[in-house]
Structure 1
Amino acid sequence: MGDTNEAAFVMFSTAHFASIIVLFLSLLLLLIFRKLLQSRKLHWIERIFALTLLLMEILYHLWLIRIGRWSLIDSLPLELCSVSLIMAILLLCTGNKHIYDFVFYAGIGGAIQAIATPDLDLSFPHFRYFHFFYTHIGIVITALYFTWVKGYAPTFKGIIKTLVILNILLPLIFTVNYFFNGNYMFLKEKPVNGSLLDFLGPYPWYILSLEAVALVIFIILWLLFRNNGLGERKRMGRNI
């Protein structure tokens, strides 16, 4: 997996745009072949995909330990996308509708933002580059696979549940940040490399702004995908 003496990641570089193209093509193929996938039993593929996501995350932590970078300050799975990744793995293994709500809203919202403005130090072909984009793209693919193929559809109630869960997590994250001097979920300061948070005001006001932005993003996602994003009849649950 190499060491840290590698090329630094540059936002909007060729390596960055390549990952965005991979995401776009993956979703396009999922959309095109959704009918074919709907006619097949894919439980074993779901489990294998969940296993690859889990394995990639385990390898990431092993790499951090090997190079001496694992720390309570920034290595705990307490970032929004880390939580979403765990939930995506659980969704692939269980198909639980409540987990789907969180992966759809928080997962897509967080992963798309992370892919657009990555908080990443190492670029292609380092392992960290592949870990970052594979897991984030995997979150989005999982959410839309369950939407387009499995027939799940987001609900407005799911928005409320997701916001409640996120706000329940906030005191825990604040506490961890305080005791370990961390910056999980960027609740202490903004990413140094720049992100969408730069448009939401100074600390701590950007945290409040982020709540409003999250609500708007979740509502947009609900409006776009409440009928599976395709105008098709939903096969699971009742949309509200």
Structure 2
Amino acid sequence: MDPSWAQETFTPYGVSHWVLLGAAAVGAVLLVRAGRRQRGTRSEVLFARAFALLLGLFALAMQVYRVLPSQWDIGVSLPLHLSDLTWVVAVYALWTRRWWAHSLTYYWGLTLNPQAMLTPALDAPGFPHVDFVDFWVQHTLVVWAAIYLTWGLGLRPGWRALATAVLVTVAWGVLVFGFNSVTGTNYGFLNAKPDNPSLLDVMGPWPWYLAVEFAVGVAAWALITWPWTRAARPTTSAN
């Protein structure tokens, strides 16, 4: 029997899925250790910016690939998913360590990306197909960026960061919902649930699952903000 890596279609919770999740966890631990050693040194800036270039160049290359005539599909080729916006702010956060960019990377990268990785909406061949590589590399690098900035370099979110993330997310949702309604697309799964099993399945029918998703998301973001506000040391995010 062929190994999971050689299967024609990616299988959730197959061998390859577990290997990828394990590799993401190990990489996160290593990045935290590296970030803590680099704090306050020149290598902190160099490493963070190299990380930003790696993520940015990879994501840009994949975006160029998506808009090639052979790949073009208005329903999937445009960078309108929240994950597309996430990698952009993650690159900026790594390069500048601005508080607002870190905030968006923290909230989006540590809730939306892990959910996508645990229940991937990936109807594509496995490794080394470009769709497989794109999905896993981009989602993993963004999660790593959020973890590296927060637990490695010591940037901290707060209630202002949470409010910023909520406002920007709502603005994105309104704009993309309008685009979906006009074009018949479903970016962000704002106009219909994905075909694959996901957490949205337990949140009711459309449009009610949007309200439930928003409430659960804000509650989750508040929960991962509260421990930092209890800490004695001040916020260290760059202004």
TM-score, length-normalised on structure 2? 0.87
Aligned to 1:25: 26
CA distance in 2, matches of 1:226, 1:22: 31
Instruction: Work out the CA distance in 2 between the residues paired with 1:62 and 1:206.
Output: 33
Q: Which stretches in structure 1 are left out of the alignment for 5+ residues?
A: 1-5
**1:38-187 maps to which residues of 2 (within 5 A)?**
38=39, 40-41=41-42, 42-66=44-68, 68-122=70-124, 123-187=126-190
Q: Please tell me whether the aligned partners of residues 102 and 237 of structure 2 are also in contact (alpha carbons under 8 angstroms).
A: no
The Cα shift of 1:58 comes to 2.4
Is 1:196 aligned with 2:199?
A: yes
1:173 aligned counterpart, secondary structure? helix
Name the CA distance, whole Å, in 2 between partners of 1:67 and 1:128: 16
Q: Aligned partners of 1:158, 1:35: CA distance in 2, in Å? A: 22
C-alpha distance in 1 between matches for 2:69 and 2:136: 21
**CA 1:102–1:70 in 2, change beyond 3 Å: closer, same or farther?**
same
Q: Which moved more, 1:57-66 or 1:46-55?
A: 57-66
CA contact (8 A) 2:67 2:77 kept: no
Aligned residues: 230
- The structure-2 alpha-carbon separation of the partners of 1:56 and 1:237, relative to structure 1 and needing over 3 Å to count, comes to closer
Runs of 4+ with deviation above 4 angstroms: 224-227
Q: In 1, distance between residues paired with 2:198 and 2:205?
A: 13
- How far is the alpha carbon of 1:189 from its aligned partner? 0.8
Give, as a single letter, the amino acid of the residue that structure 2 aligns with 1:37: Q
Percent identity of the aligned residues? Answer: 27
Q: Tell me the distance in 2 between the aligned counterparts of 1:234 and 1:149.
A: 16
Quote the RMSD (CA, aligned, Å).
Answer: 2.2
